Structure 1
Amino acid sequence: MNHLPPLITDLALILGAAAAITLLFRKLKQPLVLGYIIAGILVSPNFTLFPTILEVHNVQVWAEIGVIFLLFSLGLEFSFKKLVHVGGSSSVAATAEAVGMSVIGYATGQLLGWSFMDSIFLGALLAISSTTIIIKAIDELNLKKKKFATLVFGILIVEDIIAIAILVLLSTFTTTKQVVSIDTFISILKLAFFLILWFITGIFFIPSLLKKASNILNDEILLIVSIAMCLLMVFLTTQAGFSPALGAFVMGSLLAETTKAETIEHLVRPVKDLFGAIFFVSVGMLINLGMMAEYIGPILLITGVCILGKILTTGFGAFISGNTLKVSIQTGMSLAQIGEFSFIIAALGNSLKVTSEFLYPTIVAVSGITTFTTPYLIRASTPLFNWIEKNLPERLKTSLAKYSSEAVTLTSVSDWQKVIKEFLINLILFSVIIIAIIYLSAYYVLPWVGIYLDDSFGPVAASALTLLLMAPFLWGLTVRNEQTDSFARIFAQQKYKGPIWLMRGIKLSLALFFIIFLLSRFFSFAIALYAAVLMATLFSILRKKIQTLYDALEKRFISNLNDKELQEELKAMELQAGKRNAALAPWDAHLTTFDILPESAVIGKTLGELRWREQIGINIAMIKRGRLTITIPKKDDCIFPGDKLYIICTDVQEKKMNAILRPDKKLLESQKDIQVELEKFTIMHDSPFVNKTISESGIRKNATALVVGIERNGKRILNPESTTVLEVGDLVWIVEEKS
């Protein structure tokens, strides 16, 4: 008899139970996540009515992979640029919710008599709302276009990054056992450093790599490459001391900035669904129904605290950031639940053995209840606002409305504020890059160079190579922000001269510090100091070449960063042009495209000359020429090889256009064997060309030849004018067709 590994048996049991339960939940129109959790309860060792899992440890490994792909997919939907664009209102509301619920959760845990660590984790578990459940609920209620929905989506984006920070801080906190400590502060700085470094290097390399390999990237290869990048980043973050979830999220957010983001998201979704299902089933497996029944009181209390606390904290944050009372109430009631991130945080506490056994099933039960209540709370938000507005005193209503309107007033940013902002951003970004280069040099470049060179030349070669890599970024640190219009305007004002020279001193001092710090790793401090002065002089001499190198690096980075948005704008323009002209299309007309071949007879002609609209009755909606898009072209616009024409026409008109644009087959066939050759002949006394100009001779017209040169009395006339007179004894060079 063949032996079947227990892992396969367990996987069959997990997926079989998940499939059966989720089919039922889909029929009942309930969240599938709850179905997976119930499936986990049914196959867990705690529930003996059905067959149970044999090797729980292996399932936990699969579940960890599930967390990685869940966070990777979340990162693909995130992107760092979205975080910048969501605005201050979303950031304030999300921060108010996270901080407020952390405090309320901790206080609730202490009130219940729980341990310090359980209370801390309860606060973290209640701090983040469920992205999946909220988006699904708002979509099903057809509220995506409402003002509060836009604010909710912005809050969820900010919450994603807050959740990642919570995971990192909790990992540090469990070792130090102190809320505020030097280790916690170092962890925050370390997290910020690596996030900035990964963002810069990722945007610089990944889009370029995908773009260069685009001609060989099919769906299969792209999926493998994406997952490989994800797992590589998971490895790097783990080596750096962070959780695997952070690495998966960061790589997802980096790939989200590429033009392949939508394709990758589509390809990864089935993998995410599979491993995500196993993760949520594993969540259910850890639930002890007996323990849940024992803790029914705390479950109901925490559920009430979660719903009421999130309504108040999120609503308050939304209101103080300038939103109306109605939008604030709707926002608070939309975010009153917990979900997948809470499961991941609870799993972290469970894996680190720092939380009690009852916390996991308690939080899963709270999530289940709040998931069911979410759609009803969203529906009830407007009636609740109407009731509050009706019963509020008129004076208070006026004060609230006045605050909301004043909070949204636009503020202008002065040139000095812009210069300060650019100075700080430059200082942070370039310092991160330079520190990373120094670190790589000390721990990787020097040992590698030491293999091939002796101790006397190794440090010299390593330091020289490192300084070469640092050069463009040292230039960026010291000069980059002084090339803006705002800086030029500020520098022209006498009162800002002192602060500007102070900033210059800070930048130059920091640059010298980095050089001295690097060289002191290889040589004595005295040698490093002299070498730093020498390097500063050398940089000053070679500043133009260094600037050129830096400009090329920055241009590539900006191009990669904006490439996705550029492609989306082009698609939007195409779609807009199609919609605009489709509205003008007659009954059976449709929008179709025609590619202009290089052999087409229409090349070089204007639309006015071709008169297609008058003669055939078609409308040209758009001409796409490489990256250039011409919407609603005019009669003076010309047709070029490679153009793509977007034309509104009927089926009959489409056939006529195909006939017009198709190259003449007979002409193409007649051209197949034609060759051109360089020939020469001498003008004799009896030649008919004697004393005639080239144009009068008819050489071009009658012989289909072109006169390219004349040799006369030992002198050569290249490309003679058509008015040149042919004389006896001339040696005439011509180019003619040969069939």
Structure 2
Amino acid sequence: MDHLVLEVGLAVILISLVGLVAAKLRFSVIPFYILIGMAVGPHAPHIGVLDFRFIHSSELIDFMGRLGVLFLLFYLGLEFSVGRLIKSGKSIAVGGTIYIAINFTLGLAYAWLNGFPVEEVLLMAGITTISSSAIVAKVLVDLKRTANPETEMILGIIMFEDVFLAVYISILSGLVLSDSGSLGGVLLSALYALGFMLLFIIVGRKAAPLLDKLFNIRSNELFLLLVFGFLFLVAGFSETIHVAEAIGALLVGLVLAETTHQKRIEHLILPFKDFFGAMFFFSFGLSIDPFTLGDAVWLSLGAVVITLIGNFVAGLMAGRSAKLSYKASANIGLTIVSRGEFSIIMANLGKSGGLMDILQPFAALYVLILAILGPLLTKESKHIYKLLNKAFRWDRPKQPQRSKP
């Protein structure tokens, strides 16, 4: 193939077809997007003249994937509010801290025990800690569990994870992308990134009235141009000062969420988020050499086991800390086990920083397995709890009261 537009058109058609298959099977689309990308990527096998690999368009699709990351984080910023987290109360803060502490510690220990260097250890811990907001939210809606007692805690933990992600990526990007090899230089770079984030949020919130006037445009065309310009300018500038461009996009979303135009931006940006988000997962699949996945099988399977155990224990502890029942608490751990977009963002950060090649196939297999297992565990959470309850006897049957003579 040497026709760029034709390749991109075929890519979009392939993404659409596997998306339809995923919808029919009622599965998350993320593993399907990654798998089809691997099947037609530059590293995929070909037989003679039967060459269906996307080679000439891979750079363009990769750039579209980068845009997908920006739109995903920007949209997340629009949905997120620091005020909401504060109002959610002590229980969510405690539950979120428990969840992050357990899963992050297990991720660090697992990577360290496997003999990885410090930077790779920190990156692998990030890959294994953050659950997929997109998959979790979709599963809750599909299974009609939005009114369940544990759902507020699930959404609260996701919000808490988003705060952790923003801070952690800023620190890690300073460490991985910094030109300075000294510890002092890395810490200075990380503090510089954190300072930029805090300053941007403070100034942005103070400038909300000015932004309201600036974005008070009737034409949707000009309105979107201004939003896109603001998004790409800040994201691009963030990258120049060693703050991940994804965090720059998140910051723009957080700032614009404080304006009166938040709903309008959210409505207009949603199709772009969905389209470029799909391209992001497809482009990640293109970057994976299927023949290297074998090297990461046992590493990925071990991480999956650690994640399943850590999530269940963390969910149980978080739920019980909020005085939820054992059944509702178990549902928390089984629901937020899926991994997806944020794990891939962390893996791409490692690639940009020139870290070990094994991180890409590891993240691909890890995400694929948990993106499939997560929705299944959530769907079957009732039966799983019954089996576990037989062993641990959390809900003991009530003894019948004797009637008075």
Q: Equivalent residue of 1:269, what SS?
A: helix
Q: Give me the whole-angstrom Cα distance separating, in 2, the residues matched to 1:77 and 1:308.
A: 30
2:320 equivalent in structure 1: 319
1:21 equivalent in structure 2: 18
Q: Aligned AA for 2:285?
A: G
CA contact (8 A) 1:13 1:43 kept: no
Change (3 A) 1:106 1:178: farther
Q: Give me the whole-angstrom Cα distance separating, in 1, the residues matched to 2:291 and 2:141.
A: 36
Q: Give me the whole-angstrom Cα distance separating, in 2, the residues matched to 1:20 and 1:193.
A: 44
Q: Give me the whole-angstrom Cα distance separating, in 2, the residues matched to 1:170 and 1:189.
A: 11
Higher relative contact order (CA 8 A, sep 6+): 2
2:101 equivalent in structure 1: 99
Q: Aligned AA for 1:145?
A: A
Q: Give me the whole-angstrom Cα distance separating, in 1, the residues matched to 2:65 and 2:379.
A: 35
Q: Give me the whole-angstrom Cα distance separating, in 2, the residues matched to 1:301 and 1:177.
A: 33
Q: After TM superposition, what 4+ stretches of structure 1 lie above 6 angstroms from structure 2?
A: 176-180, 393-397
Q: Equivalent residue of 1:147, what SS?
A: coil
Query: Within 5 A, what are the aligned runs for 1:157-168?
Result: 157-168=159-170
RMSD of aligned alpha carbons: 3.0
1:355 equivalent in structure 2: 356
CA contact (8 A) 2:189 2:242 kept: no
Change (3 A) 1:393 1:240: same
Q: CA deviation at 1:152?
A: 0.5
Q: Equivalent residue of 1:363, what SS?
A: helix
Query: Within 5 A, what are the aligned runs for 1:683-694?
Result: none
Q: Give me the whole-angstrom Cα distance separating, in 2, the residues matched to 1:13 and 1:367.
A: 25
1:345 equivalent in structure 2: 346
1:32 equivalent in structure 2: 29
Q: CA deviation at 1:169?
A: 1.6
> Deviations for 1:250-276, whole angstroms, at most 9, x for unmatched residues?
111121222221221111112222222
Deviates more, 1:7-16 or 1:237-246: 7-16
Q: Aligned AA for 1:222?
A: F
CA contact (8 A) 1:14 1:43 kept: no
Q: CA deviation at 1:174?
A: 2.6
Q: CA deviation at 1:354?
A: 1.1
CA contact (8 A) 2:150 2:319 kept: no
Q: CA deviation at 1:355?
A: 2.3
CA contact (8 A) 1:67 1:245 kept: yes
TM-score where L is the length of structure 1: 0.49
Q: Aligned AA for 1:266?
A: H
Q: CA deviation at 1:5?
A: 7.9
Q: Aligned AA for 2:66?
A: E
Change (3 A) 1:25 1:396: closer
Q: Give me the whole-angstrom Cα distance separating, in 1, the residues matched to 2:344 and 2:19.
A: 19
Q: Give me the whole-angstrom Cα distance separating, in 2, the residues matched to 1:324 and 1:179.
A: 49
Structure whose alpha-carbon radius of gyration is higher: 1
For this pair of structures, how many residues does the alignment match? 392
Match among 86, 89, 99 for residue 88 of structure 2: 86
1:330 equivalent in structure 2: 331
Q: CA deviation at 1:187?
A: 4.7
User: Is 1:255 the equivalent of 2:252?
Assistant: no
CA contact (8 A) 1:94 1:314 kept: no
Query: Within 5 A, what are the aligned runs for 1:481-496?
Result: none
CA contact (8 A) 1:121 1:346 kept: yes
User: Is 1:244 the equivalent of 2:270?
Assistant: no
Q: Give me the whole-angstrom Cα distance separating, in 1, the residues matched to 2:28 and 2:380.
A: 20
Q: Give me the whole-angstrom Cα distance separating, in 1, the residues matched to 2:108 and 2:175.
A: 15
2:130 equivalent in structure 1: 128
CA contact (8 A) 2:314 2:333 kept: yes
Query: Within 5 A, what are the aligned runs for 1:128-167?
Result: 128-167=130-169
Q: Give me the whole-angstrom Cα distance separating, in 1, the residues matched to 2:372 and 2:182.
A: 37
Deviates more, 1:124-133 or 1:77-86: 77-86
Q: Give me the whole-angstrom Cα distance separating, in 2, the residues matched to 1:56 and 1:15.
A: 13
Q: Give me the whole-angstrom Cα distance separating, in 1, the residues matched to 2:241 and 2:181.
A: 22
Change (3 A) 1:235 1:290: closer
> Deviations for 1:220-256, whole angstroms, at most 9, x for unmatched residues?
2222221122122213423443111111001111212
1:109 equivalent in structure 2: 111
CA contact (8 A) 1:90 1:318 kept: no
2:199 equivalent in structure 1: 197
Q: CA deviation at 1:179?
A: 13
Q: Aligned AA for 2:120?
A: D
- Tell me which protein shows more helix as a share of its residues: 2
Q: Give me the whole-angstrom Cα distance separating, in 2, the residues matched to 1:191 and 1:315.
A: 35
Q: CA deviation at 1:391?
A: 5.4
Identity across matched positions, percent: 26
Q: Equivalent residue of 2:110, what SS?
A: helix
Query: Within 5 A, what are the aligned runs for 1:659-678?
Result: none
Q: Equivalent residue of 2:207, what SS?
A: helix
2:306 equivalent in structure 1: 305
Structure 1 portions without partners, runs of 5+: 398-739
Q: Give me the whole-angstrom Cα distance separating, in 2, the residues matched to 1:104 and 1:8.
A: 45
Q: Give me the whole-angstrom Cα distance separating, in 2, the residues matched to 1:233 and 1:258.
A: 17
CA contact (8 A) 2:172 2:190 kept: no
- Tell me which protein shows more strand as a share of its residues: 1
Change (3 A) 1:8 1:395: closer
Query: Within 5 A, what are the aligned runs for 1:542-581?
Result: none
TM-score where L is the length of structure 2: 0.86
Q: Give me the whole-angstrom Cα distance separating, in 2, the residues matched to 1:213 and 1:363.
A: 39
CA contact (8 A) 1:75 1:256 kept: yes
Change (3 A) 1:376 1:167: same
CA contact (8 A) 1:82 1:157 kept: no
